[in-house]
A and B are shown apart, each in its own frame.
Chain A
Amino acid sequence: MNMEKITDREAISITTLFVLGSTLILGIGGEAKNDAWIAAIAGLLFSVPIFLVYSRIVSIFPGKDLFEILNLVFGKYIGKFIALLYIWYAFHLGALVMRNFGEFVNTLGLPETPMFVILLTLGLVCVVAVKLGIEVVGRASAYFIPFVFANLLIVHILAFPQLKFNYVKPILYNGIEPVIKGGFSALSFPFAETFILMSAFSALKTKKSSFKVYFSGLFLAGITIIIVTLRNIFMLGKSFGLFYFPSYIAVSHIGIGDFIQRIEVAVSFVFAVAATVKVSVCLFAACKGIGRVFGLEDYRSVTINVGLFMIYFSFIIYDSIMDMRYWAYMIYPYYAFPFQIIIPVIVWIAAEVKKKKTIKIKASAL
């Protein structure tokens, strides 16, 4: 495999867009109602120790991707089995994000168009991006991220006259429990999914950059999510949890004078960019994993087939938008828990033990 390198800035952009990915579309912490912003903060705080684990794993094995790390830590057979689990997870996650975007476009933008067309157009862009390599995804996200933030900022400024700050009260009316639950689902839904990024971070330049990349990405994206959630609550109040796509509905309320209206399409741009980056990274991880497990020379040769498979999978995965919403909020946090927290912690402990052993062996050899 030829070596690819991405700069820290590109990696931070990928992390930020990856976390923003489908979160901006679906919104987080719906069960906490108007305390969803506290749930987002709780999710951010919960994810700090998890991110320390992730970045520590990357810095123990510089220049190695997720599947090589699994192989080194668990040996050939168990490593391959866990690698297969992660291939499935990356594939499934990519399909879910694709489906979220497809449902969004199909519900609000192009209701007459078959969803398959939307999924196919998104999927083909991602296939091309992955075929060109992670460097291209990195450069594209570094190029797009100023536009994304400028867009969000302008929409926030335009939304200012519509904000009703009293909607956020009463704070913690239903007690702390829904907030903690919302925080847990916020942890699993956007933040801890970044474990998949480890398959791309073998391309990082220095050993120390993993901490910088993970934490800058986490805080950039986390603060954006908190601000967006607050804006949605200020605009929609308690009913914010009832909408399928709260950000889009909130922005559609904006009207300045008679001429700045219906600017929600501007927000769809952010959704499209973030979803493309997220699906590309998931596809990249799945292809790279297949390449490692089956001992292929280059992961790129399987990209088209895995990408098409992902498109079909996202097409068949749910029957309706209600299923999608139920799955995303009720099932997904528990389904993803082993992939996001249990296995990474085991990998981390095993890696620390292994590192100490190799240092001892080296010391005794001297």
Chain B
Amino acid sequence: MLILVLVVYTSIAIYEFIPLYKQKLWREFGVNIVLGLLSLVIAAMISFGMKIPSPAYPIKELITSLLGK
């Protein structure tokens, strides 16, 4: 699974990042690198079958504590 993820991300890097680098759009390049690395980490974690904490539950706690239910 991890190999699949890596292959997909390499192809995204070739298709997306290199044109941005060549056009010297540094802001786009930076934002894309950050987002790409983050999503790569999450994809790798999903492919390992790790449990990733979801923000839905803290929001639920917060709202139930605010409303006092």
Contact = CB atoms under 8 A, between A and B. Distances in A.
Contact of A294 (B31, B38, B42, B67): B31
Contacts of B35: 302, 305-306, 309
Contact of B54 (A304, A317, A334): A317
Nearest to B29: A301
B59 A331 contact: yes
Contacts of A319: 54
A346 to B, nearest CB: 20
Contact of A302 (B28, B38, B56): B28
A301 B67 contact: no
A315 interface: yes
Contacts of A305: 12, 16, 32, 35-36, 39
Contact of A290 (B16, B31, B66): B31
Contacts of A316: 42, 46, 52, 54
B46 A308 contact: no
Contacts of B32: 301-302, 305
Interface in B42-69: 42-43, 46, 52, 54-56, 59-60, 63-64, 66-67
Given A296-B25, A331-B60, 7 more contacts: A301-B25, A302-B35, A305-B35, A308-B43, A309-B39, A327-B60, A334-B67
Interface of B: 12, 16, 20, 25, 27-28, 31-32, 35-36, 38-39, 42-43, 46, 52, 54-56, 59-60, 63-64, 66-67
Interface of A: 116, 290, 294-298, 301-302, 304-306, 308-309, 312, 315-319, 323, 327, 331, 334-335
23 contacts: A296-B27, A296-B31, A297-B25, A297-B28, A298-B28, A301-B16, A301-B25, A301-B32, A302-B28, A302-B31, A302-B35, A305-B12, A305-B36, A306-B35, A308-B43, A312-B43, A316-B52, A317-B55, A327-B56, A327-B60, A331-B59, A334-B66, A334-B67
